[in-house]
Each structure stands twice: as structure tokens, then as C-alpha cells.
Chain A
Amino acid sequence: MIDQVLVPRPVGRLARLTAVLRRNPLLTVGAALSLIIVLAGLFAPLLAPHPADAYVATHPTETLLPPSGLHPFGTDQLGRDILTRVLYGARISPLIAVLVLLIACAVGIPLGIVAGYFGGLVDDVLMRVTDVFLAFPALLLALAFAAVLSPSIGNTTLAIALTWWPWYTRLVRGQAASVAGRQYVEAARALGVPHVRILLRHILPNSITPLIVQVSLDVSAVILTASALSFLGLGAQDPTPDWGLMVSQGQSYFTTQWWLVTFPGAAILLTAVAFNLLGDGLRDVLDPRRVPTR
């Protein structure tokens, strides 16, 4: 028939992925950057010039040295090698960010799609609970949680996640409510598809795109929030080579010793950019309409 001539051959998922990678160099860059960060964290003990400086060692005679061959990123106020600490930091800060965002998504997405799809009373109850969480300033709420839970990285993660999910619920709920009115959802109901499956197969994939972008933008925000908690003594504690903590501790030296803040800050920036590009590319892969079919 005529139809056969006009239409491209169906493309496999893997083939589509490579096609997307080829067509979308930014995604490739994002994936490469993410890989570099993961590898830096994994191989920190091998890559770091002064592994001992990551935690306990201090060098009172070598404080605040500018970048040099021996200390490529300089040293901090306790004489620790900043390159070493930035490399070890790749084990902590991105992990906190990823965990916070995973928990926030795990709580926020289900509540959002359920509220948006069912509407009515379910929607009202869920969204008022969400509003209560949103009504508190996020940092204050995280502080309160962190104070109750005793300071540690795990608890910081939990505390931030608890303030993060309501935003995602809001975002997803709005999308889900608009998708719920589409004709294909009605068609699915007319086919006798159960609610759970409509939620998972129709509402979720069609309302998730803005969230993916938001999550990828939030990576740096989470790292900075974690550092704010550390700064206030409620997150990662001093010898821990957390990037946010290094930035906040280096602040007072910024005008005279720029390297204390700059390198961990650049690491945060790099992580944020990497996840951003990744998120953008992921959106393209997930949405078949955005892939041109030659």
C-alpha cells in the first residue's frame, strides 16, 4: 500500500539512543562529564596527590598556599591539599544530591500523579498537606529536621529530601491533571484499563518531562543547601571533604586566597552542568515525538 512507502522503518530503542547521542552532542558531553565525576570519586585514592589530607591530616606549616606544582589547587586554612579534597568530595556531594532527588521523586511523583489524576477530594487532601510543607521556609524546615535527627550526612540527606518533595508534587500534579483530561486517557478507560495502569503507563510518562528538567536543575541547589546545613553545623562535619562545606568554610578567605572557594565551587558547577545536560538529553530520549525520523 501507499502507506508503506511514506513511512520510515521502525527504529529500535538502542539504535534510537545512539542516534540521539549522535544528534545531540550536549547529551554526550553531559554523560561524559557525569562519568568523569563518578570516576573521580571511585579512584580518588589513586588520583589524589595527598590522600591523607582528605580526612584527618593537617599541616600547620603549609596553610593557605597558592596553587603550585606540589598542590595544583593550593592548600586550605589547615594546610590540606585542596585537589585531594575536591577529588574525595566527588564521593559525597553528588551522592547527597542524587539521594535527595531520588527520595524527593519517590515521594513527590506518586502523590502528584494520584492527586492530578483522581482530582476531587483526593486532590484536595494531598495538595493541602503539600501546601503545609511548602508554607515553611525550606531551609528552616531542613534545619529543624536536621537538629532533631542529629548531625550526619545521612540525616542531612533525609532532612533536605523532606523539604524537597512538595515542589515535585506540585509540578507533577499540574501536569497530571492536564494529561488526565486527554482523549487517550479516556480511551484507556474505555478499554477497561485499571486505574493503576492508567497512572503508570499514561499519566506518568506524559507528565514527567518538566520534572526531569527541574530535577536536573536542582542538583546544584541541593549541594548548596547541604552546604548551608553543614555551615550551620548540622550537616557534614569538618574533616569531611564535602564541597559545600569547603565553599562555606573558604568564604572568609575569598578576597585574599581565592583558591579555597573557587575549586570546590567549580566542582559543584561542573556537577550541575553535567546533570543538566543529562536531564535535557534524557527528555529527548523519553519523548519519541522529539526525535526526527529522517
Chain B
Amino acid sequence: MSAVGPEDPGSRPIRDGLDHRGPVADGSMPAIEIHDLSIAFGAREVVRLEHLEVGEGEILGLAGESGSGKSMTALAILGLAPTVGATVRGTIRFEGRDLLALSPRELRDVRGRRIAMVFQSPIASFNPVFRVGDLFVRSLLLHGARNRGEARARAEEALRGVLLAPDLLGRYPHQLSGGQAQRVAIALALALRSRVLLADEPTSALDVTVQAEILQLVRALRDERGMSVLFISHDLAVVAELCDRIAVMREGRIVEEGPADDVLRAPRHEYTRALVAAVPKVGRIGGGP
């Protein structure tokens, strides 16, 4: 469908999702740049962001309690906030375009193909009636694969990329474990060669050992493929372990933002301090207070 064919000049990717570059040094253009974003349900404004950016090849952690607007921000980036009844204003720059000004058709091309999203409950993210392979093949055909064979090959390669056996493609979602399903979801982003991954609480529904594997995987994607990641979590321990920078949200606003170590070691805002204090002090939380 619309997915094949040359991309319009405005959306020229800065680099192909395939080349294996490490994290990019500061100073390059941010992958996603949000200005004056306002998300409201009717008269009630739930998110008010003056500025937030995800650097190229950066993992930005978006932390905060439930209801603080983290997920709505991610949905707004994909242009999906209106589907849950919200009105969105402001600008979200991505590859030189304002995502909020795109037509529905242009947005569909960005979704999945350029920006992928991973959700909280991994198994519920899959339509139960289709096999994993079906999901991959159809998504890839929608987003640029020339034929089933190529789609299949890319799917298998992506599964290997997340350390899963390619024969998983023949399974139904309910036959996957939570950790496997989340890997599959990430593999889909990989197969689609998305440049940006929006991860909305991707580890919250998983047990701790599986959590660690997923975090490792997300880091590897960034290190090996240069993917930029917006990692949303209410769990500061998880964010601390993974992210380069952290933005802490509360009641729709960012109360503190900075390099992960700084924010965790010397939180300036009292809310952040409360969050840091709430983290159980076992393991690698930046040296401890």
C-alpha cells in the first residue's frame, strides 16, 4: 500500500535503522523534540510540557506516578491521543516535521515504521487470533517489505536479534510467556526498522529476572542499532538502571530533568526526592544516598 515507494524528502531518515552505530554524541539533532505540548480532556489539562526532547540514540526515562501524564505524552507523539478523546496542541518535531500537523495517512506511515511503541501488558498487545508470524508479515508488508518472503526473513532476523528462536513465529500469543511476548513486541520494532521506540511501562507486568532481560535488550538496541528510546516507568529503580537522562513528571508537568546520575544522586525537587527515597536500597541505584 502506501508504505512502498520513495519517502517524501521531508522525512529523509538521518540514517537507516540498520547501520550499527553506537550512541551519538551530544550536539546532534534530537530524535524527538516536544514544544509547548498541551493535552486536555475537555477543559481539564492533563499534560503541559514546555520542552522535552529525546536525543538521537539516547534513552530518556520518563518517570512519575500513575496519572502523571507519561502515557498520554507517548500516545500524543504517535497522534493517538485523540482516539482516547483528548485534544492535543503544541509541536512535536520528528525528522524535520511536526507530527501534530501530519495528515492521518502520513501519521500511519510514521507509526510503526519510524516510531514504534511497546505496551505494558505484553500478551494483551497481541490479537489472540493470529500467529506471531502473521503479525510480523502483515506489519512488514504494510511498512515497506516487498513480499512475504522478505517479510518472513526480516521477522526471523529480528527474532534472533532479541535472542528468540525463529520458530516462535508459528505460535499464538497465548502460547508465549510474558517475557517472550515483550521480546516479540520489541522484535517487531526491530523488524520494522523503527528509529524511535516508545516503551510504555514495558517491564511493569514482568517479574524481576525477566525485567532485567528486557532492560538489557533495550540497551542493546540502543547500543547496536542507535535506536532512540523514550522509556516510561513509574519504577525509578528501573529507570535508573537503564536511562541516560531522566525527566520526572508530576500532574502533567516536568518537575525535574537531567542526566540520570545527577537526578538520582542529588534530586533537586522534593517530589523526586520522595521518589528516590521510595526505591528499595538493594543493588545499583547510583551509589545510594
Residues of A within 8 A of B (CB): 1, 3-4, 7-10, 182-184, 186-194, 201-202, 205-206, 286-289, 293
Interface pairs A-B: 6 shortest CB-CB: A10-B170, A192-B111, A191-B112, A192-B108, A190-B117, A183-B124
Q: Is A187 a contact partner of B126 (Cβ separation < 8 A)?
A: yes
Q: Among the listed A8, A9, A205, A293, which residue makes an inter-chain contact with B129, where contact means beta carbons less than 8 Å apart?
A: A205
Q: Most B CB atoms within 10 A — which of A188, A190, A194, A289?
A: A190
Chain A residues with CB below 8 A from B175, complex form: 7-8, 293
Q: How far is the CA of A9 from the CA of B142 in the complex (A)?
A: 28
Q: How far is the CA of A184 from the CA of B129 in the complex (A)?
A: 11
Interface residue? B48 (CB, 8 A): no
Instruction: Kindly specify which of B36-44, B161-169, B224-232, B251-259 makes contact with the partner chain.
Output: B161-169
Q: How far is the CA of A192 from the CA of B124 in the complex (A)?
A: 18
> Distance (Å) between the CB of B206 and the closest chain A CB?
15
For the residues of A in contact with B, the DSSP-based class is helix
> Distance (Å) between the CB of A183 and the closest chain B CB?
4
Q: Binary interface profile of B, 44-84, with partner A (CB < 8 Å = 1, else 0)?
A: 00000000000000000000000000000000001010010
Q: Is A190 a contact partner of B80 (Cβ separation < 8 A)?
A: yes
Instruction: List 26 A-B residue pairs with CB atoms under 8 Å apart, sorted by A's residue number.
Output: A3-B164, A3-B165, A3-B180, A4-B167, A8-B175, A10-B171, A183-B119, A183-B120, A184-B124, A187-B117, A187-B126, A189-B78, A190-B111, A190-B119, A191-B112, A192-B113, A192-B142, A192-B143, A193-B112, A201-B138, A206-B127, A286-B129, A287-B128, A288-B129, A289-B172, A289-B174
Interface residue? B89 (CB, 8 A): no
Q: How far is the CA of A265 from the CA of B132 in the complex (A)?
A: 48
Q: Is A192 a contact partner of B110 (Cβ separation < 8 A)?
A: yes
Assign chain B's interface to a size class: 35 or more
Interface residue? B121 (CB, 8 A): yes
Q: How far is the CA of A191 from the CA of B175 in the complex (A)?
A: 22
Q: Binary interface profile of B, 107-146, with partner A (CB < 8 Å = 1, else 0)?
A: 1111111001101110011111111000000110011000
Chain B residues with CB below 8 A from A8, complex form: 175
> Distance (Å) between the CB of A131 and the closest chain B CB?
24
Q: Is B129 a contact partner of A187 (Cβ separation < 8 A)?
A: no
> Distance (Å) between the CB of A117 and the closest chain B CB?
11
| Given A3-B164, A3-B165, A7-B175, A187:B108 Cβ within 8 A | no
Q: Most B CB atoms within 10 A — which of A1, A9, A184, A287?
A: A184
> Distance (Å) between the CB of B54 and the closest chain A CB?
17
Q: Is B129 a contact partner of A287 (Cβ separation < 8 A)?
A: yes
Chain A, residue nearest B112 (CB): A191
Q: Most B CB atoms within 10 A — which of A8, A192, A202, A286?
A: A192
Q: How far is the CA of A153 from the CA of B187 in the complex (A)?
A: 56
Q: Is B167 a contact partner of A10 (Cβ separation < 8 A)?
A: yes
Q: Is A186 a contact partner of B119 (Cβ separation < 8 A)?
A: yes
Chain A residues with CB below 8 A from B167, complex form: 4, 10
Chain B, residue nearest A187 (CB): B125
Q: Is A288 a contact partner of B143 (Cβ separation < 8 A)?
A: no
Q: Among the listed A10, A188, A193, A288, which residue makes an inter-chain contact with B128, where contact means beta carbons less than 8 Å apart?
A: A288
Chain A residues with CB below 8 A from B129, complex form: 205-206, 286-288
Chain A residues with CB below 8 A from B171, complex form: 7, 10
> Distance (Å) between the CB of A6 and the closest chain B CB?
9
Chain B residues with CB below 8 A from A287, complex form: 128-129
| Given A183-B125, A289-B128, A191:B139 Cβ within 8 A | yes
Q: Binary interface profile of B, 87-112, with partner A (CB < 8 Å = 1, else 0)?
A: 00000000000000000000111111
Chain A, residue nearest B117 (CB): A190
Chain A residues with CB below 8 A from B180, complex form: 3
Q: Is A191 a contact partner of B111 (Cβ separation < 8 A)?
A: yes
Q: How far is the CA of A159 from the CA of B78 in the complex (A)?
A: 47
Chain A residues with CB below 8 A from B117, complex form: 187, 190
Chain B residues with CB below 8 A from A186, complex form: 80, 83, 119
